[in-house]
Chains A and B, each alone.
Chain A
């Protein structure tokens, strides 16, 4: 029995759901479909595993891409087809989303099954380790300092470690699988809460999974992976609260909204800001006469604004009292992005080249454009459907219309944000915004997708029907490939041999051994200077405090100094004052240029990466062996550890060197 007004769009409502499963349940067809689905998921996973197997042994092969995407498509399409089928029961759709949520975590799970691999994961691993070792929150983090002020993910991971005895990484993986599945279900719940039926809502969740952050970025062990799920559920509860007609019912949904919002506020800064912005957008749409005004609209608007302002107040209080560094951390990203984009548009800058240094094959790069085109077409279709519904009086002014229009506006933000991908400073921010704008976009696109599927399915001639439906599936597959390709570079997505200057493939057994040796010999908590990639492992598993290079603390000047050239006394005084006692050097810096174009930090001088492809540090690292205030205590194939004896002593070595002979002895 359906009690809700069905927000079904340009097609008649589906047959009553409860009667169908009963018929299918006892039939052979159900089990055949279930077996076929299981076979597809198994085969798909097998192909993904094979793709990763190929990738970890080769540097330049492209067959791993073919295997990987073959597997992903084989896993996605049957789920999509079953969800899109009108007769599939609501509960089965939820089960299918859960299944897809699980298997779509496989790429990240296989990418780094036993230890962190992505840049931020090292920082979050260390933050969790600090809670476990000190028993306190808010411990400083030198890899990504801001995360110490947002302990949500670390606290829940530490609690799971405490309760289960699992390692940090195992606990984190269990939580991330849960958040990933909940994200998919959350988008479906949100879409249902704004008035879409279960079929359209489930398709909205699948369409959301095409966004560039879904497979990798929002599955990494980082605070945004937890926060995005909380944001989606907060919005779903918000929509429920808005649409709840009774005062008591509304209050309960409001409490849930605020609980999820509070969780987001203590977990991730950007997600909370975007949550407040989206809530404001929805509250505005609930206050617009043409969209919302009908009986009781004032009460609804008061609820919406109340929730928005309370969430903003919680976020503001957290920023003010706990995380005052947030704005300083975030503002450069947006400011530089806009400035650079304006420069590029004005012709005074050089626009970023898309896929400039990408390891992806050409077809993956091309498909990145498909996802934008597909989103544009479906969004246009979604807008036309909205217009048609409004014109035909099937979406009267009120809460549902206001919410639909509010989320549509959120989704449309995606298209202008894609321009920022041409700006080096704005590209990262643009990509991160897509995980949020796609929440609205998927709600907007899903009705258009359903319309297309039904139109294709109604074709009388079988081959035309099959071709049309097949065409839609091909587009879905291409969008899945392109959506992910637009997000992260291949070195992040695939395992493989060591790749100098890549955040996700720069750690090696040698580096881990060096960090372990250092920790065992000198203990934890030493202040040391090193490059970005070495610092990830020394700063996490090594439990050391790595320097944060900046214009005010240019530790890269140590490396840049030519042999015989004195290092700036100001820098040496800063190192001495900051109690920096060790320098760790990756000697490959003298020969290689980093894959991501950064040796230390993104804010380092651009001149460090020379355009001629040769390292600027060539011939400049051997000097460390002869500087009097550096003592070399460790030397491996690629790494050297020096003890800093600061301030530099004025004494000179005996000249000429002694001629006395010593000897070697084998220790017993």
Chain B
């Protein structure tokens, strides 16, 4: 861009062509798939995705004249680009097309094509008009700066953005690498094996119920494992069995349940008690328990006495 007598002149070789170049640059975003997903691809694709559709929109709306000043142009481009992502998703939804990588790309590409065509046509038409160089800014507060000032402002803006992002990245990196309290460990007890939706049907030989104890703690822990029949009073079923689990270790066990009388249902409970851990609330040894119903073969009876 050159400036004479307070009037912006746009160089003819660039002015009509920039929407075409922008469109081609957007189309080339497909090539970023060759880059590994993540930061490398983001560094290339993000500026394209969040700048060009909006810039083309501004080109289509304003043509070659009275565009927002540099910083305003970039801001509007970024926001409009974000909005085109939204509108593209809505278009795809209304067209009953699934929103995928490909469909989003093609939809945005089509949008960019239309915008680029309109912007290009407007610039060409305006360039052919006799008054196209006599552009004066609006009396709406617009300030026209000389090219050197525009360039300087552009450099400063880019430097500020880069510095800001570097500072943010540095802060995140240092925060991430500072010593931090170790995350609290935990232990869990759960059934494993097939997913159950009702009582476990016991065969004549009984059944085997698999379970696991996951110990997600730095040290080794000792537990006592037992199982019981639940009722108004509970009777022991298995154990106690001492178990030791190492740091971040898993204990996989099986509870063998003997057969029940025909048609009877009972509940079995597996209980794990920590030998050296107290529950902070009850001040008792910490316990974990899981349960399930088991049924003897045959039709379930409403009342079943042994």
Report chain B residues within 8 Å CB of A628: 267, 293
Report chain B residues within 8 Å CB of A57: 180-181
Report chain B residues within 8 Å CB of A243: 138-141
The answer to whether A245 and B163 have CB atoms under 8 Å apart is: no
Chain B: interface residue total (CB-CB under 8 A): 142
The answer to whether B206 and A91 have CB atoms under 8 Å apart is: no
Report chain B residues within 8 Å CB of A249: 66, 138, 140
Report chain A residues within 8 Å CB of B187: 636-637
Q: Is the interface of A mostly helix, strand, loop or mixed?
A: helix
Does A660 belong to the interface (CB within 8 Å)? Answer: yes
Chain A: interface residue total (CB-CB under 8 A): 137
* Chain A interface (Cβ < 8 Å from any Cβ of B): 1-5, 7, 17-18, 21-22, 25, 38, 41-42, 45-46, 48-49, 52-53, 56-57, 89-92, 94-96, 98-99, 101-103, 105-106, 109-110, 113, 131, 134-138, 151-152, 155-156, 158-160, 162-166, 170, 174-175, 177-178, 181-182, 185-186, 189, 192-193, 195, 198, 226, 229-230, 233, 240, 243-246, 248-249, 252, 255-256, 259-260, 262-263, 266-267, 497-498, 508-510, 513-514, 517, 521-522, 588, 590-591, 625-626, 628, 631-638, 641, 643, 645, 649-667
The answer to whether A631 and B292 have CB atoms under 8 Å apart is: yes
Shortest CB-to-CB span from A275 to chain B, Å, is: 14
Query: In this complex, what residue of B is CB-closest to A635?
Result: B288
The CA of A299 and the CA of B153, in the complex, are separated in Å by 36
Q: Which of A92, A134, A661 contacts B258 (CB 8 A)?
A: A661
Does B284 belong to the interface (CB within 8 Å)? Answer: no
The answer to whether B82 and A226 have CB atoms under 8 Å apart is: yes
Does B17 belong to the interface (CB within 8 Å)? Answer: no
Shortest CB-to-CB span from B255 to chain A, Å, is: 6
Q: Which of B37, B82, B157 contacts A175 (CB 8 A)?
A: B82
The CA of A198 and the CA of B143, in the complex, are separated in Å by 10
Report chain A residues within 8 Å CB of B256: 662-665
Shortest CB-to-CB span from B25 to chain A, Å, is: 14
Known: A654-B306, A662-B256, A664-B255. A4 touches B145 (CB 8 A): no
Supply 30 A–B pairs (Cβ within 8 Å), ascending by A.
A3-B6, A22-B148, A42-B167, A49-B178, A53-B178, A91-B154, A95-B153, A102-B164, A106-B171, A155-B89, A163-B32, A164-B41, A165-B42, A170-B42, A174-B42, A189-B72, A193-B141, A246-B138, A259-B57, A513-B186, A634-B191, A635-B188, A645-B198, A651-B304, A657-B234, A658-B306, A661-B237, A664-B239, A664-B254, A667-B253
Across the A-B interface, how many residue pairs have beta carbons closer than 8 Å? Answer: 417
The CA of A603 and the CA of B70, in the complex, are separated in Å by 49
Does B2 belong to the interface (CB within 8 Å)? Answer: no
Known: A5-B139, A165-B41, A522-B195. A103 touches B164 (CB 8 A): yes
Report chain B residues within 8 Å CB of A653: 230-231, 265-267, 293, 304
The answer to whether A156 and B86 have CB atoms under 8 Å apart is: yes
The CA of A138 and the CA of B94, in the complex, are separated in Å by 11
Additional A-B contact list (4), CB under 8 Å, known A158-B99, A662-B268, A666-B254: A46-B171, A95-B159, A110-B171, A246-B138
The CA of A252 and the CA of B59, in the complex, are separated in Å by 11
Query: In this complex, what residue of A is CB-closest to B261?
Result: A654
The answer to whether B86 and A152 have CB atoms under 8 Å apart is: yes
The answer to whether A94 and B252 have CB atoms under 8 Å apart is: no
- Tell me which of A1, A57, A658, A667 has the highest count of chain B C-beta atoms within 10 A of its own C-beta: A658
